Chains A and B, each alone.
Chain A
Amino acid sequence: MNNMDKTVVIGVGNLLLKDDGIGVHVINELEKRELPPDVEIYDGGTGGFKLTDLMQDAERVIFIDAVDTEMLPGTITTFKSEDVRSVYSMKKYSLHDTNLLEVIKTVEILDNPPEIIIIGVQPETIDYGMELSIKLKDSMPDIIDTVLNLLLVTKLKPGNKKIMDNSMETKLP
């Protein structure tokens, strides 16, 4: 049974692999903000199928994840699973911990699944380390704004994917 008011925001990724951990870094930022009472935020890490347990009683789920859309680092793309033609992990296709869309498809087995939106951020560096790249650090305010806008806006229809290209913006140190 869905909780008709509840929105769940889940940041996923591996904190030990630099920009791969962007989703978790965003959650850490959101924890400092005041959010509407019907919003729950989670550090999903590399939880794989464990994520389904966070989603089952929500009306809407917003994921933040590093997604390679072959655009410039820092580009934010907001989309739904229906928008995606093919998906494979960096080193080709694999189910289980790697593929967020498989997790989403699993939840969609339920009779009354939540609406699911993905905020994908183009990474610059996926390598061993706990720091984000400068480009993704610079993108953080825009990613936060994207999440907050979605929490206030009602629905994102399939096919209405939005791209915010931050990479053109030059920021002085």
Chain B
Amino acid sequence: MHDFHVGIEHITRVEGHGNIVIDVKDGKIKELRMEIVESPRFFEAMALGRSYREVAHITSRICGICAVTHTTTSIKAIESALGFAPSEQTIRLRKLLLNAEFIQSHILHVYFLTAPDFFRVGSVFGMVKDNKETVLRGMRLKSLANDLCALVGGRHIHPITLKIGCFSKSPRPDDLAAFRERIIKARPEIQETVEFFKTLKNPEFERETEYISLTNPDEYALYDGVIKSSDDGNTSPDDYIDRVKEFMVTHSTAKHAKSGKDSYMVGALARFNNNHEQLHPRAREVADELGLKHPCYNPYMNNVAQVVETIHCFEDSINLIDELLSNGIEEEKAELTPKTGRGVGATEAPRGTLYHEHKIDDDGKITYANYIIPTGQNLANIENDLRSLVPGILHKERDDIIMDIEMLVRAYDPCISCATHLMKVKFVNE
């Protein structure tokens, strides 16, 4: 196929609204772009003039899927600006809550949003007829993670116990111990998840890029660390602006980003490539079982890296609960005094590194806010992947080409917008 034109409007099974336009003439790409049709975000402007105590609550509302990460990152930025260091207990509880969000988000993506591609069905509902038990297993594991979110975060959606300084309420030791047993009991289902994904074969495609994630000498970095580039070393989160170079493109209302190369990747595969040796041993075994080898330059394997991280987060949660129980859990209080300052929070969200920067005045009012979300950072890399992928698959049938393209975009788990959700309905009898 020397000539090929495709305009995929509103890619399904991604969060938000994106189009893909690809125009190939005589085997050469004339035009390729991923259009983002969401309105620009004005959340940063909404934070200005607000109290430093309010801003985490506001940012938690940007996205219900990644509410824990947004809240945690916002809190870290404020604490950094005020020069406050939280207790070990608070950090462990934040890590536990973050694990719950990772498991929930990854399970949703791999079971509900990407698995239907492998069965050539349009949505997860197409899988129910022949694979109902698989879908129900995905729902059970997702519920398990969401219950952990409720136990630590105070409720299932938009956590309320996460505060600047410490948690407003700590989970009871008995409840944590009981939850530990639930994870242990779920291990067979977690292993069945691994077995299921062994049967799904991702397309073969490789393009090496720059991989950026947090890194931490003490652990597989999700909650905290310095910024690591696979190409040229580490950067302090305070200097994130030197690493993440945002730029505008005419076809997207979301900013694109580059670093050393003309694009880079964030997310599970970037974290695996940068920090795989620090994964829990069981997660490393699962990576081997699923054919994920370091370094991996196949972006489709981001799905597999998410399964591997799910195992890591389950096992890490058991360790965190053990540490919390052995140290004893106390109700904590933290006194913070507002003062002029600047703080940057950098946290790994399920989809990649999230940055919040805040400046505060002496009255505790926000005078500057900048939020950089993972998907914005991945957009340029998705386009570069597509430019590399498409010429090599033009011999395929048109529907198969489109499937390969859509699967590539979905592999990044893009969150183009969690903001707009208004339903428009037409009724049966109208």
Contact = CB atoms under 8 A, between A and B. Distances in A.
B143 A65 contact: no
Contacts of B429: 159
A68 B61 CA distance: 21
Contacts of A106: 112, 124-125, 139
A15 B61 contact: yes
Interface string B392-430: 000000000000000000000000001111111111111
Nearest to B158: A45
A107 to B, nearest CB: 9
A99 to B, nearest CB: 7
A2 B191 CA distance: 28
A46 interface: yes
Given A16-B62, A46-B63, A109-B135, A161 B422 contact: no
A46 B418 contact: yes
A15 B157 CA distance: 13
Given A42-B155, A53-B147, A14 B421 contact: yes
Contacts of A44: 64, 157
Given A56-B143, A95-B12, A96-B13, A109 B136 contact: yes
B427 A79 contact: yes
B426 A85 contact: yes
Interface string B350-385: 000000000000000000000000000000000000
Interface residues of B, number: 54
A92 B9 contact: yes
Interface in B110-157: 112-113, 123-125, 128, 132, 135-136, 139, 142-143, 146-147, 155-157
A126 B423 contact: no
B421 A46 contact: yes
A82 B428 CA distance: 8
A161 B428 CA distance: 11
Contacts of B132: 109
Contacts of B8: none
A13 interface: yes
A94 B156 contact: no
A17 interface: yes
Which among B12, B42, B43, B139 has the greatest number of chain A C-beta atoms within 10 A? B139
Sorting the interface of chain A by its residue count into under 10, 10 to 19, 20 to 34 or 35 or more gives 35 or more
Contacts of A14: 61, 418-421
Contacts of A102: 123
Interface in A134-153: none
B176 interface: no
B38 A13 contact: no
Contacts of B16: 94, 96-98
Given A13-B421, A17-B420, A128-B42, A46 B64 contact: yes
A100 B146 CA distance: 18
Contact of A43 (B15, B43, B113, B158): B158
A120 interface: yes
Contacts of A93: 10, 12
Nearest to A66: B422
Contacts of B63: 46, 97
A42 B42 CA distance: 27
A123 interface: yes
B156 A53 contact: yes
Per CB-CB distance, the 6 closest pairs between chain A and chain B, nearest first, are A46-B64, A47-B157, A68-B424, A47-B64, A128-B42, A90-B422
10 contacts: A13-B421, A50-B65, A54-B157, A68-B425, A82-B428, A83-B428, A85-B430, A90-B424, A94-B10, A97-B63
